[in-house]
Every structure is written in structure tokens, then in C-alpha cells.
Structure 1
Amino acid sequence: MASLYKRSTAKGSPWYCSYTETLPGGRKRKVRVSTGTPDKASAQQILTKLQSDAAVRSHGLVDLLADRIGKESSKPIAEHLRAFKDKLTASGRSEDHIDRTANHVTEFVAFSGCVSVADFTADRGNRWAASLIQGGMAGRTIHARLTSLKAFSKWLVEHDKLIRDPFTSIRKPNPNADRKRERRMLLPDEWSWLMRAVHSIEDVKGCDSQNRQLLYRTAVQTGLRSNELRSLRRGSFHLGDASPYVKVESRSTKNKQVARQYVDESLADDLRKHLAAKTPKAPAFTLPSEYDMADMLRADLATARALWLRDSKDADERAEREETLFLTPDNEAGETLDFHALRHTCGAWLAMRGVQPKIIQTVMRHCSITLTLDTYGHLIAGAEAEAVVANADMTAIPGILAATGTNGACVPFVSQQNASRCVPGAKGCDDKPATIRLASDHNQQETPQNTGLNAASCGVVRRDANTQGGTRTRKAVFGRGILNPLCLPIPPPGQVP
């Protein structure tokens, strides 16, 4: 039976309705819900509609999934946001990441005036992004906000709270198009002066000289981020191995994977002495607050510049040094130095030393080689020219110069069995005709070479496939077919192969 009733006699209080709903399997459930209106006639219409919908569902005439999605999408956004934060927590995301993501979604909701997630539309998302651009916000910051919003809407669809993602068509701006802060690396010469400065001042931001010196060296060698360095304990250091390394647990890394970063023997020895008196779970370094890390480094950098200026031989040299940006936070390109710049320095120095990009990617723990090349590829000076020269060396053909008389040396020619032979007619060679090798895994047969052939047209005779160790061709190769890669069929000028 269905009925209407009031829970309060106060004027304007809403009517409540009660009815029975038949669930799949024949079970019945009593439903009590507010109609939201104090008008009895309107409440009666709402009750009739609810009863009608319940009857349709009980007879299987309604898509239950679509019906559930409709109910979920009408719930308050705050309820969904709490569940989304729980999902991020279960995924191992940091509290900072969770709070930042939730704040971005809350910003959009406040701007758009949405009451439920059913109000989410692409137009509202684009209007929000446009307002951020017009407000002068950097592309990287807008990119982060849209990433949070799109992650939330994607989760709504995956958990059957929205039937489709309304923000799929929204395009995020290029985060690097108008970056307001570009980090610079420390130059090798600046590093030596920075170490002098650290030794000259005992305390900066509550961090003593030894802590700062070891902290900077560890950051530059490992490329660890500020929060990763802060998470290190004595037990994080494995310094007794043949290759000493620092281990960062997955809960503290950005990609949520365990990091193993190697250090050299000199730093390992100094760290071993530093950690000797600490308990296994004690912090490895005594550090200032996370907001003072950049100020600490810049203070040491200012001391280093003062020492460098004081080291001038005369007034003219000092005046010349003062005009430079050596050991200043900002360089000529407008790049600035903060604590994260020590990580950037690690990757930059590896690139300058010619370390392979794939190894740099591993050390820096980048998600793709593209990120590594975009960040550090320009620091490999002259790499293109060297690569072309190296490629030209690979295409050099043994014996060609001697055969065409361009030099007087006898050029050795290496077969598959590492045997050598000379080109007929070349200076320093005997007059015996050269031979052509038969390609076989076990035996070698030599065929006298026609005196009209030279090194440019020599080839490999393959055995029949029915013979032991042979291949599927029976051709003797003289300019066409299967070639020994060490004897390419390039004829001298004027000779047609």
C-alpha cells in the first residue's frame, strides 16, 4: 500500500511518501522518501510516478544499469568527491596529490555552479579553462587543473556514476608553451665554489655544514627529488656493496616504484661515516622545512658568489666578475635555480658527458625517452655531426680504394671466417689470383677468381640447401643476390655491374 504523511506539523514542511517496491527475484522492499513539496496534490503526483517507475522496473522493462547510473548522477558532488578521494588513497597517492586534485575539482564546481555530476558538460569545462587563460594563469597550471577534472569524470564513468564522460573532448594546453619557471643547472665551476661556501658557513636554515654538503652531493649524483631525499633513513643506504646505492621506497617516489640510485665510492665513504651514529630508522639528513629548501640552497649560492668575487686578483677583475651572472639564481636565459635544480643538474651533466639517453632516462626515472630527449637532448653538443661521421665510417668499403688505385696500400679483406686476402694488382700484393669463399658453417672451399674481377665485384657462393650447412640459394653472387656484408657489390666508376 502507498501513503502520504508528514513528519512535522510545521507550516511548509514537505510531504513524505511510502510505497512497496518489488526487487529482482520477487523480494519486496518498503521505500520511504520525501517528495520535497508541502503541496499535497503535487506530492500525490510524485508518489504516483514513483509507484509507476517501481512497477516498470519490477517487470524488467527498465535497464537497471541505466537506472542506477541515473540515481548516482543525481547525488551531490561532494558525496562522489569523497569516494574519489578514497580511491586515490587506496591507490597509494600522496596526501598532497589527493588534496590538490580535490581542490581543482572544487574550483570547477564553484565556477560552474553545478549541483550534481549530471550537470557536468563540455561547455562548462571549456568556459572554466577559458576563464583561467584570460586570468593569466600559466599553461602548465591550467594543464594540471584540467587533468584533475578529467581524472574525476573518467572515474565517474568507470564506476557507473555517469553514462559518458562529458570532458573527453576538452583539450589540455601544452604545459611547456608558456612556462613561467625554467630551472637551470649548476655549472661544474659553480659546483666547486658552492662546496667551498658550504664548508665556510656552519648553519643555514637549521641545517649544518656536513648535512648540506652530503645532501647536495647525494641530490646531484642520484637525481632524487626533495621529498624523496626527505624520506631517506639510515636503512635506505646500501653502502657496503660493490656498487653502493640509495634505495627509495615506492610510497615516496613520484611513479610509485622502488628507486635504486647509485653513488660513487667517495660519497659512499662520507655517507657511511655520517650515518654511523644514527639508528636504522633515523632520518639520513637534518633538513629545514620543505618550503625552505630552495632558500637554503640560494643562501649557499650567495655565499659562494661572495667568495668568488673576493677571490679576484684586482679591482678590474672584480668589476668584470660583478657584471656576470656566475653563481646567481637566474642566468642569461631567464632560468632560475631552486632545490629541484639539483635534480636537473644530475641529468644535464650526464648528457654533457655523452651518456646514452636511455641510461639518462633510467637514472632520472622518466616515464618515456621522449621526455629525456626533450629535456636534455640539446646539451649533447655536436652530437649530430659526430653521428654523421661515425655513420660514414660504417659505410666505408674495405679494399675499394686499393682496387681503384687511389692509394698504394694493400687493404685486407675479411671473410666470414676472419681470413684475409689481397686485391689483385694492388701494391704490396702478390700476383696470385684472389679466391671466392664458399659460405659454409663447417668447411671452406675456394674457387679461383676470374682475373677480370676485383674487390668491388667479388661475392659469396652459397651451397645448395640440400648440403650440410647451406642456405636456400644456389647462386654465386657477383654484383646481384646475397652478399657478404663485408664485400658490397659497388663497381669502380665506369664499370657496369
Structure 2
Amino acid sequence: MATLNKPITRKPIPEGAVRIEGRGGVVYAEWTDGRGGKRREKIVETAKGERIEVEAARWQITFTGADGRTKRRAGFADKAATKDLARRLEDEARKRRAGLIDDAAVKLAEHARRPIAEHVVDFRERLESKGNTNTHVARTIRALEDAIERCEWGTITDIDAARLAARLAAMDSLSPRTRNSRLQAVKSFTAWLVRERRLHADPLSSLRPVRETDGRVIVRRALSAEEVDELLSYVESSGDVVRIPKRYTYKGKIRTGLRNIRIQHRALLYRLMLGSGFRVSETASLRGGDFLLDAAPPVVRVRAGYTKNRRPVEQPIRRDLADALRPLIARTGREAVVWPKLPGNLAPVVKADLRAVRARWILQTTDRAERRRRRESDFLRAVDAEGLRVDAHALRHTFCSTLARSNAPLRVAMELARHSDPKLTMKTYSHVRLIDSAGALEALGQSPILRTLSAHFPDSEGRAKAHNVSHQNTRAGMDDAQNHRKNKTQSSVSHATSDNDAKWRCPDSNRGPEVYESSA
């Protein structure tokens, strides 16, 4: 049975209090409190001297909890309301002892009553504790808070997939990739809520990213070996300053100009990205202590907060690349960034270098016909005739394509490219050119089977190639016997053949692949 009482605390007698003697010899202290009201409390004798006994304004409930222990809980100033709360607490304790209440369900209900902003604060702390960059955390929280405001979610139980999908679809000004990134930010929040058991199920599990091919998608190409050689030769001799175009507003008009960006050791930066497949954000995070150049093989480490899958990476590199990096790393402290102030968007820098090296390559010849041919070619173009681009991420495409051309096993190429799906390695990043395909077909000509088949193909004059006479005679005898059996079988079933079967023997009935399947 729950009991109610008002806790009593003993405090020193206030200054200026007047002692008043009541009935039965009880002494009281009377004074004016800070609000101007009259207060009177009983004075008692304690080991520390005279004190007043102050009764609490709210009732306190004492009851037996679900574990059999005595519990205390603050009630209300109103005694009737406190009695109702005491009865509910006793009923809940009895149901818990009987196994009728699930603790997980109670916690879910408590989380459902909290404002969604409190969960967002906890989610931010979780992202920061995982070692994510400040930029990633800020971008994720910004996209999440924007979705919460647009969808008018007050609690986590208000999260609705249909409303979020409608709000994202209404953002026509955003590219499909940007909308997908915002969706991913909100879905990472709901997935965290499920893992933390704040939600029973993910309300956004039915949402899927939109097709990015329907919008503005950058399709990249890999650089050839000749283009890489020209690019590195130019960068090594061009200095650290790159002039890239910029747009600015002056007197209400948009103007264009040039601005200088200083990137030290840019040639080594390109060599590292071409030889390791590092992304720009991963390269910008590298410190002197991340380069283990004396290991076997040499390794470059990338911390978990800067990789795409948020896992630490130890990427092996070639020995010659390690030797080229050694003087730079020796001058860099263990905790110092190797390429400080590297811009997050390195694409303008790469494009500026490509324009400069292409102009130099065109002017290297004095022959007018050759110079015209070079101008019309796609060599070292940032955007070729097919719309394929070369930017900073194209250096990673070049690395993966080089792995594919080196006949490395698919599993090894996938590990070096740090892909979880081999299809991504081969389809997206391995840019196999037509000349590579022709070389592979020529290599198939060395197969014994294809050499045997080629003996049966007619030559350019329409005559069959030389065969062994005994082989021809043997084959002719086998053909005669086979034709005899075929004619006998056809004569026996000729009357059973229906008219509908005639169309399948028509020369045009088995049409080419362009009718039944795509040209791909």
C-alpha cells in the first residue's frame, strides 16, 4: 500500500525572525520571506542548535517497486492528484512483477514523447564520436533539420515516408544527386533511431534513391599514359601557383576573372592520386605520420573519418612512388598536413592544368597540318567530343582503369580500389578503350580452338583453305550417312507438319537481335 507524506527539512532560523510561543509550550519562528509573505515554522532543538522544521510544498509517494524494493517519488501539491499517481505506480509495479508490461515498449513510448530536436542533438553527438569530419557532420545535420522543418515533424513518430518523398520531389532546382544525398542524411538518422531502440521500425525503409542518370550526372574518362606523362611533365615545371577562373558580382553584374591558388608539390599530389586512387578529401586529410614508406610494401593510411565508408584504410603503393614521396614526408611533421589548404573542389585546378598543357602540346609542332590535327583531337581535353570529363576524380578512374589493363585479378583490383561490389570496379571505373578490346581479340587468336576454327573459314578469294585429304574423305562419308538419315526422317514426318510451322522455316522468321533485345 502506498503512503503519502510531506518531507520535512531542518534549516537555520532566518535572521530577524520573532520567537512566538504557541499552545503546549511549542515555540515558533515568524518572519517575512522574500516575497513579502508571513511565514511561521516550528523551532526544534537539534545537535547543531535550534533549527526550524520546513514542510515541503509537494507530497511524496512511498511504494513497493517491481523489484520488491521501496521506492520514493515526488507527487503534486494537490493531495488527490498525488493519490491517483500513487495508484497508477502501484498498478504498474504489480503488472511488471507479473510480466504484463514490456520494458522496451515503455522506453519506446518515452522516446516517442520527446521532441525530435532532442534526438537530433543526440544524433549529432553520435556522428562526432565516430570521428566524422566537421564538414560531414554539419552537412548531415543541416539536411536533416531542413527535412524536419519542411515536413513539420514534431516527434519521431511523426516521421512519414510519403511526406518526405513529396517534399524532395518538389525540389526541382536540386539535382537528383543532391536530393539523394539529403534522403541519405535523413535515412541515416532513422536507421540510428532503430539501432538505438528509439523506434520499433524504420519509417523510411521504403524510400529508394532516384535515378541519377535522369539528371545532371558527370561522366568521366580515364587519362591515357601519354596524357599522364604530358600532364606530370608540365606540372613539375610550372610552379606551385595555378590560375583558375572565378565569377563575382560587381555593381550588380556578374563578371568573370582569374584567381591564384597555391598548391605546393602539385606533381607529387597528382602522382599519389594516380598511384593510389585516393579521393580529394582523403588526400587532403593525409598527415606525415600516415605515410609508412619503409614498410613492405609501402603503405599510406587514411583515417576512418575521411574515407567514404567511414573505415580506416591502409593503401599499399608502389616502391618508386614511395621513393618520390620520401623527401617531402621527411620535411613534414607527423601531425602536420602534407598538403595544407588543399581546396575541397580540385576540379578547377586540374582543368586549368589540362588547358595549359594542351596549349603547350599544340604549340610544340611547327607543321600547320599537324597543329590543326592536334587542335581537333581530344588529347588532354577536359571535356571531349562525347561529353566525357577529366577532373580530380578522373585520376581515380585512371588508377582503376590501369588496374584493369594490368590483368590484375578482379578481387585484387576491387581491394585496391576499395570497392564492396566488383561490378562497380569493372563497369564504372574500368574504361576499356576500343584498342584494348581489339588487342584482347587478337590475343584470343593464339587459342588452339580458334586456330582450328580458322582453318574452316574461307580466305579472301573465297576458296577454302587447305585441308588434309584423308580428313576430307572421312568427313564426306560421315556427311553422306547423316544426310541419308535426315532425308529418311523428314519423309516420315512430312505429313505431320502443320502449316503454322512453315513460318518458323521462313528465312526472315528468326530476326536479328535488334528486334528482341537492345543493341547493348
TM-score for both structures, normalised by structure 2: 0.63
The equivalent of 2:209 in structure 1 is 172
1:258 aligns with 2:313: yes
- Paired AA for residue 194 in structure 2: V
Q: 1:49 to 1:206 in 2, by over 3 A?
A: farther
Q: Where in structure 2 are the equivalents of 1:85-484 lying within 5 Å?
A: 85-132=124-171, 135-204=172-241, 205-208=261-264, 211-240=265-294, 243-255=297-309, 256-265=311-320, 267-283=321-337, 285-291=338-344, 293-377=346-430, 379=432, 381=434, 393=447
Single out whichever of 250-259 and 316-325 deviates more from structure 2.
316-325
Distance in 2 of aligned mates of 1:44 and 1:131? 53
Aligned in 2, Cα 1:163/1:281: closer, same or farther, shift over 3 Å? closer
Write the deviation string for residues 383-442 of structure 1: whole angstroms up to 9, x where unpaired: 5995899599587999xx9xxxx9669xxxxxxxxxxxxxxx99xxxxxxxxxxxxxxxx
Distance 1:29 1:350, change over 3 A: same
Pairwise CA distance, 1:354: 4.2
Tell me by how many angstroms 1:220 deviates: 0.3
Compare CA radii of gyration and give the structure with the larger one.
2
The answer on whether the counterparts of 1:246 and 1:263 sit within 8 Å (CA) in structure 2 is: no
Separation in 1 of the partners of 2:118 and 2:372? Answer: 64
CA spacing shift, 1:55–1:354, aligned 2, 3 Å: same
Residue 108 of structure 1 and its aligned partner are, at CA, apart by 1.1
Is the CA contact (8 Å cut-off) linking 2:112 and 2:157 kept in structure 1?
A: yes
Query: Could you tell me which amino acid in structure 1 is paired with residue 92 of structure 2?
Result: R
Distance in 1 (alpha carbons) for counterparts of 2:76 and 2:418: 54
| Larger mean Cα displacement after TM superposition, 384-393 or 74-83 | 384-393
Shift of 1:219: 0.9
Deviation at 1:338, TM superposition (A): 2.5
Identify the range of structure 1 (303-312 vs 347-356) with the bigger mean alpha-carbon deviation.
347-356
SS at 2:219 equivalent: coil
- What secondary structure does 1:24 align onto? coil
Instruction: Go from structure 1 to structure 2 and tell me whether the alpha carbon gap of 1:165 and 1:244 turns closer, same or farther (over 3 Å shift).
Output: closer
When structure 1 is superposed on structure 2, of 310-319 and 375-384 the one drifting more is 375-384
User: What SS does the aligned partner of 1:59 have?
Assistant: helix
Distance 1:232 1:65, change over 3 A: closer
Task: Give secondary structure in 2 for the equivalent of 1:170.
Answer: coil
Correspondent of 2:94 among 46, 59, 62: 59
Range with bigger deviation, 314-323 or 356-365: 314-323
For the aligned residue pairs, the C-alpha RMSD in angstroms reads 4.3
Picking from 7, 22, 30, the partner of 2:73 is 30
Q: Within the alignment, does 1:70 sit opposite 2:128 as a pair?
A: no
In structure 2, list runs of 5 or more residues that go unmatched: 6-34, 36-56, 242-260, 456-465, 486-520
Asked if 1 retains the 8 angstrom alpha-carbon contact of 2:290 and 2:300, the reply is yes
Local SS of the residue matching 2:202: coil
Amino acid across the alignment from 1:166: P
Q: What's the secondary structure of 1:260's corresponding residue?
A: strand
Number of residue pairs aligned between Structure 1 and Structure 2:
394
Are the equivalent residues in 2 in contact too, given 1:57–1:64 (CA < 8 A)?
Answer: no
Q: Deviations over 1:90-128 (max 9, x none)?
A: 334333333222222211101011111121122222222
Q: What is the CA–CA distance in structure 2 between the aligned matches of 1:53 and 1:141, rounded to whole Å?
A: 50
Cα displacement (A) at 1:79? 0.9
Higher mean C-alpha deviation, range 162-171 or range 23-32: 23-32
- Residue 139 of structure 1 contacts residue 179 of structure 1 at CA under 8 Å; is this kept in 2? yes
Which has the larger strand fraction? 2
Q: Secondary structure at the match of 1:291?
A: coil
Percent identity for Structure 1 against Structure 2 = 28
Using the alignment, how far apart are the partners of 1:221 and 1:315 within structure 2? 37
| SS of match in other structure, 2:181 | helix
* Cα distance, 1:175 vs structure 2: 4.0
Q: TM-score, structure 1 length as denominator?
A: 0.66
- Determine the C-alpha separation between the residues in 2 that align with 1:292 and 1:158: 34
CA gap of 1:139–1:86, structure 2 versus 1, over 3 A, is same
Q: Which stretch has the larger CA shift, 313-322 or 66-75?
A: 313-322
Task: Measure how far apart 1:348 and its partner are.
Answer: 2.1
Larger displacement relative to structure 2 (217-226 or 242-251): 242-251
- Which protein is richer in helix relative to its size? 2
Q: Which amino acid aligns with 1:28?
A: K
Q: Deviations over 1:201-242 (max 9, x none)?
A: 22222224xx11111111101111223223334443344456
Inter-CA distance 325–53: structure 2 relative to 1 (3 Å threshold) = farther
Query: 8 Å contact 1:220–1:346 — kept in the other structure?
Result: yes
Change over 3 Å in CA distance of 1:302–1:109 after alignment to 2:
same
